[in-house]
Amino acid sequence: MFSIEINQDQPVSDFYHELNQLAEGLLSAEADPIAGMANLSSFLFQVLPDINWAGFYLVKGGEQLVLGPFHGQPACTRIPLGRGVCGTAASENKIQRIADVDAFSGHIACDAASQSEIVLPLVCGEQVVAVLDIDSPIKNRFTEGDEAGLCRLVELIQDNLHLSKLY
């Protein structure tokens, strides 16, 4: 099994290089999307500093997001496409990196502790099939460096998990 110890004090690009190497190990061992997302949620929750929620919402029926594997407090189970940070990321197929969730009109507060958030769409073919959502209890938690590292993680997810089995 892999170790989940990562030196969190190194430069952000080095941190994500290491994180993504470990994630690739996890992903290459299991292609089932739910199993892979479950392990990744646990992994991200343990290795990312200053976060309080990490997980996935899955696009169902082309009209809403339904809660998928995650770590953190219980969360809202259904989000219409176009609503909240997650629904916006999914409907626009665009990363949402929100420095202050209170300044995002329509933010859905699942955990009152969340102050900032990043949501990245996962695409299969031309379709957004899920989003990766990470929340932090501090404002301005997610930098451009975090976004770049997590974009690479999303590529690994798309390349390794059988996302077409989600719908």
Q: Which amino acid is located at 11 in the chain?
A: P
Interface size with ligand SME, residues (CB under 6 A): 15
CA 65 to the chain's CA centroid: 13
Structure tokens at 164: 């077409």
* Nearer CB in complex with ligand SME: 146/160: 146
Residues 46-85 vs ligand SME: string with x where CB under 6 A? -------x---------------------xx--x----xx
| 7 to 47, 114, 127: CA distances (angstroms) | 9, 24, 35
Cβ pair 25, 146 in contact under 8 A: no
Q: Nearer Cβ to ligand SME, position 139 or 162?
A: 139
**Which of 23, 27, 44, 110: binder of ligand SME (CB under 6 A)?**
110
12: left (phi over 0), alpha (psi -120 to 50) or beta: alpha
Binding site for ligand SME (CB under 6 A): 53, 75-76, 79, 84-87, 107-108, 110, 114, 117, 133, 135
